[in-house]
Amino acid sequence: MHAVIAKLEERLGKKAVVEYQDAHAADLRESRADITKAKALLDWTPRVSLDEGLDRAVHWYRQNRELACSLEL
């Protein structure tokens, strides 16, 4: 997670303010995500790298900041 935060900080030109909180009951403690089955059964492979996905997300955010900031989480 720290690597993703660092990548976002670089793209946004800002230092993240990270606030640690107790885990929510619905939070995953760990993930062993594996796309092997999707590749085998669906002939699926990712078309967007993590870096490109972050670039796209940052671009969208900058274009839609007012909307993004108005959403309740």
> Which of the 8 DSSP states describes residue 29?
S
Position 68 scores a pLDDT of 81
The angle at the Cα of 22, spanning 11 to 58, to the nearest 5 degrees, equals 15
Residue 25 amino acid letter: A
Position 57 scores a pLDDT of 95
Q: Find tokens 């993590």 and name the residue.
A: 50
Position 19 scores a pLDDT of 93
Residue 52 amino acid letter: E
Say whether pLDDT at 73 is over 80: no
Position 42 scores a pLDDT of 96
Burial-class residue 58 by CB neighbours within 10 Å (0-12, 13-18, 19+).
middle
Q: In this predicted model, what pLDDT tens digit does every residue of 24-67 receive, in sequence order?
A: 999 988 888 899 999 999 999 999 999 999 999 999 999 998 88
